[in-house]
Amino acid sequence: MRTIRLGKTGITVPQNAFGALPIQRVSMDDAICLLRNAYDGGMRFFDTARAYSDSEEKVGKAFEGMRGKVFISSKTQATTREKFEEDLDTTLTNLKTDYIDIYQLHCAARCYNEDDEIYNALVEAKKQGKVRHIGITAHKIGVAEDIVKSGLYETLQFPFSYLASERDIRLAESCKEQDMGFIAMKGLSGGLLTDSAACMAFMSQFDVLPIWGIQRQTELDEWLSFFENEVTMTDDMKTVIDRDRNELLGEFCRGCGYCMPCTVDITINQCARMSQMIRRAPSQNWLTDHWQQEMLKIESCVECGICKTRCPYELDIPELLKKNLKDYKEILEGKEI
């Protein structure tokens, strides 16, 4: 397994890390078991956030008594000093630690700089020793590019998968040139990519640290298998990647959920990408009575536009929902998938 140094932080870990967003959906015992199995299998970097409900608490419980053996990053969506300090104290308590290896401003709308109290609060937390390194996450490429150019942060977390554009790849290369750590989120593009070996082989070509969102032991086993059987890009993998890029590039929902909740209770982060999911997973999973009812909720959309203002990818969500519903109804009527 290749190792990655996260730029000037000096943090060096295997290029195979644990994204702890999904463990908010499982019990405390199951989460602890997953996290410890990940450590035993070779993972050393674990990413969580205040926004992930009880994920921090589960990470803290799992690694209590072995803090120095793992690297933990967390995040805050605070935009004021007061909220930042509140979040930081809560995170430290949840993680049962007196420091965070990387503390990140979460889903930044722009590059916060020395004129912003939130950036200065982050720097002050590092001076106090509560935070060892400062980072930031972004979803918009222009914001991410501004962040790299600023030289103010030690790490950038940004969506990166084999659906990456040339501009995305240049961003990763710019981070390397600036000695800035690049943490790659959404390596499976919200579950649309299903070939883990191809995903891992793609990541291995770059100086990035992928954090795989893991919820089940079967998922963890796939990622841990690469510690024993290192993957490199093959012609077969290139074929898979080319096929997926042809099918998926363009306007598509990554399922991040930032658009939620919907004012009329549409499950946007699944319904807006149903056309892809129904073709890339066992279709019967998405043709149940439950999902038929969920999709029909799209007919009640009032096009308030709130979801559009929240979407980090600036998608026209109401239009995307309509397209997916039309396709879904045609599938129910017998259209070949």
Q: What is the CATH number of the domain that holds 190?
A: 3.20.20.100
Q: Are residues 186 and 316 in the same domain?
A: no
For the chain, how many structural domains are there in total? 2
Q: What is the pLDDT of residues 62-100, one digit of tens each?
A: 999 999 999 999 999 999 999 999 999 999 999 999 999
Q: Which of 199, 218, 239 is the last residue of a domain?
A: 239
Q: Are residues 200 and 277 in the same domain?
A: no
Please report whether residue 250 resides in a domain. Answer: no
Percent of the chain scoring above 90 in pLDDT: 90
Q: For residue 261, is the peptide bond before it cis, meaning its omega torsion is within 30 degrees of 0?
A: yes
- Which residue range forms the structural domain that includes residue 312? 268-332
Q: 0.85 cut: is pTM over it?
A: yes
Q: Are residues 27 and 166 in the same domain?
A: yes
**Residue 281 above 80 pLDDT?**
no
Q: Are residues 163 and 61 in the same domain?
A: yes
Please report whether residue 247 resides in a domain. Answer: no
Query: And the tokens for 322?
Result: 């309509």
Q: Are residues 297 and 216 in the same domain?
A: no
Position 28 scores a pLDDT of 98
Please report whether residue 206 resides in a domain. Answer: yes
